[in-house]
Structure 1
Amino acid sequence: MEPNEPINTKFYQLGNGGSLIFEHDLNAVSDFLGRPHPEFHGVQLDDTPGGELQWVITADLRGKMEPPTSERILFSFRESNWLDGLARGLQEALARLCGQNVVRILASRYAHLGEAIKLLNNDRKSLRQQRAKKDATIHRLRARIASLEATVKAQEDQIRQLEDDDGGIDIQGGDAFLSDDNDFEEDENTEEEDYEFLEAGPDDYVPIDVEDEE
């Protein structure tokens, strides 16, 4: 699979009787403003350094073509899964649509959405901060793990190099009982009497009298 090649795709259009959160209000306001039904596109990608799959969600709120015309609202963001991304997109789309048409909204039966949008914006800001904090923590932990792995590998390489330089284990080190020729070399303090015990001499014996048999 080529880099950035979509793994999966999704499409969702309002106006088909769905009941997702914010869907009814967004669809009702769009109808009130004479705009086409909002559309949401999702593309799942595997392009993050950590190898985590993410969805790129694109919201498309086309503007009104007949006078008075309205501008198109188009935005994208990333989310960990399609359903969470769709819910977030619906909320964001409703907030942007009300913000773009705040005068008409406040003068209509949808005025209550103005206050609700303010609360939603505050919640959304809090969620973004939490997400940013979580991402920063994950990034810091990954960097720490990578550093520890590099340290362990360096220590293993150092130990392996030391073993190669020593050429094996010294079996005469420490309290080994093995000896070599060096153990029998004379030193300058050795005296001749030290070897007297090696000289041959008469055997010591005790005479035994043996009586002749009669």
Structure 2
Amino acid sequence: MEPTNVKFYQLGNGGDLIFERDLDGLSEHLGRPHPEFHGVEVNDQHGGELQWVITADLRGKVEPPTSERILFSFRESSWLDGLARALQEGLARLCGQNVMHPQLRHHVDHLDYMLFQTQKELDNSRGYANQTHFALTQHGEAIRMLNKDRKSLRLQRAKKDATIVRLRAKIAALEITVKAQEDQLREIEEDDGGIDLQGGGAFLSDDDDFEEDEDPEEVDYEFLEAAEDGIIPIDVDVDVEE
């Protein structure tokens, strides 16, 4: 994969970064060329996180007595952080290379080792911070989406509430209209002499208005006068068989 971004920085151009003047002054005092730093942005991490590969080049003295070249590289999360770290580590390595006293040189080497361990811990902390920042960014996006959905639901609810209020007002108006029409019909009925225009049951027959039909088999004989012997004569048609 081709690098997406490339940076280059050389001391001796009046920069004011941390450790820049110290490293450039020591290099000039030792007769070394100005240190150079290269940075390449790469995207080869599993999570898609961009990193910078920083390379520090502290060239040695060309004229006798010559000195060894110091060249090292590491990874950093940004170009400026990597450049500051390279300046600090380059100064430590250059001091360690030029210490003549054995005990002091051992002390400087130990400090260089401690610096390496500290930088390693800082790298781990920075990686954890980057992961946390990425997680917080995702949470922020989720919160923004939830807020957007919440606003949409509130808008829908407001529209429904407005529709309900409008329908209730329409129902109330219709009830008033129906009541007015009923009153008008009642007045018309009173003016027309009690004619039911609403289709009531005032003029319909009711079964209670009629008496039950008499049984044709039963005959009331109380109107007949009894004879002296107390017998009431009744004419009965009798069929006589021939």
**TM-score when scaled to structure 1?**
0.54
Percent of aligned pairs with the same residue? 61
Q: Is the 8 A contact 1:36 1:62 kept in 2?
A: yes
* Partner residue in 2 for 1:90: 87
* Partner residue in 2 for 1:58: 55
Task: Say which one has the larger Rg.
Answer: 2
- Write the letter of the residue equivalent to 1:82: W
Q: Identify which of 12, 17, 20 aligns with 2:17.
A: 20
- Write the letter of the residue equivalent to 2:68: E
Does residue 135 of structure 2 align to residue 131 of structure 1? no
- Which structure would you say has the larger RCO, counting Cα contacts within 8 Å and 6 or more residues apart? 1
Could you list the runs of 4 or more consecutive aligned residues of structure 1 that deviate by over 2 angstroms after TM superposition?
114-127, 129-139
Q: Identify which of 215, 218, 236 aligns with 1:211.
A: 215
Using a 3 Å threshold, how does the CA distance of structure 1 residues 34 and 84 change in structure 2: closer, same or farther? same
Using a 3 Å threshold, how does the CA distance of structure 1 residues 85 and 137 change in structure 2: closer, same or farther? closer
Q: Is the 8 A contact 1:6 1:45 kept in 2?
A: yes
Does residue 6 of structure 2 align to residue 9 of structure 1? yes
Structure 2 unaligned spans of 5+: 132-212, 220-242
Using a 3 Å threshold, how does the CA distance of structure 1 residues 133 and 24 change in structure 2: closer, same or farther? closer
CA distance in 2, matches of 1:85, 1:37: 18
Structure 1 unaligned spans of 5+: 140-208
Deviation at 1:122, TM superposition (A): 3.8
Aligned-pair Cα RMSD in Å: 3.4
Using a 3 Å threshold, how does the CA distance of structure 1 residues 91 and 137 change in structure 2: closer, same or farther? closer
CA distance in 1, matches of 2:5, 2:126: 26
**Secondary structure, aligned partner of 2:61:** coil
Using a 3 Å threshold, how does the CA distance of structure 1 residues 77 and 123 change in structure 2: closer, same or farther? closer
Report matched runs for 1:103-122 at 5 Å: 103=100, 122=114
CA distance in 2, matches of 1:133, 1:82: 17
**Secondary structure, aligned partner of 2:74:** strand
Q: Deviations over 1:175-204 (max 9, x none)?
A: xxxxxxxxxxxxxxxxxxxxxxxxxxxxxx
Does residue 26 of structure 2 align to residue 34 of structure 1? no
CA distance in 2, matches of 1:130, 1:84: 11
Q: Is the 8 A contact 1:95 1:121 kept in 2?
A: no
CA distance in 2, matches of 1:134, 1:84: 11
Deviation at 1:36, TM superposition (A): 0.1
